[in-house]
Amino acid sequence: MVNNNYLKVGCVIPVCHLGKPIDNANEIIKCAKRITDADIICFPEMCLTGYSLGDWIVNKELLDNANKALQMVVNESNDSVWLVGGPLNLNGDLYNVCYVIQNKKILGVVPKMHLSNYREFNDGRSFKSGLEYSNKTLTIEVLDQLVNFGAMIFENKHASFGVE
Residues 90-112 have pLDDT tens digits of 999 999 999 999 999 999 999 99
Partners of 149 in beta bridges: 109, 138
- Asked if 113 and 134 touch (Cβ cutoff 8 Å), the reply is yes
Q: What share of the chain is helix, strand, coil (3-state, %, to 5)?
A: 25, 30, 40
109-132 pLDDT, tens digit each: 999 999 887 776 778 889 999 999
Please tell me the distance from the alpha carbon of residue 129 to that of residue 111, in angstroms, as a whole number.
7
Residue 125: predicted pLDDT: 87
Q: Enter the DSSP assignment of 3.
A: B
Q: How confident is the model at residue 5 (pLDDT cuts 50, 70, 90)?
A: confident
33-72 pLDDT, tens digit each: 999 899 999 999 999 999 989 889 999 999 999 999 999 9
Neighbour-count burial of 157, counting CB atoms closer than 10 A to its CB (0-12 exposed, 13-18 middle, 19+ buried): exposed
- What is the four-CA torsion angle of 14, 19, 23, 26, rounded to 10 degrees? 50
Residue 3: predicted pLDDT: 61
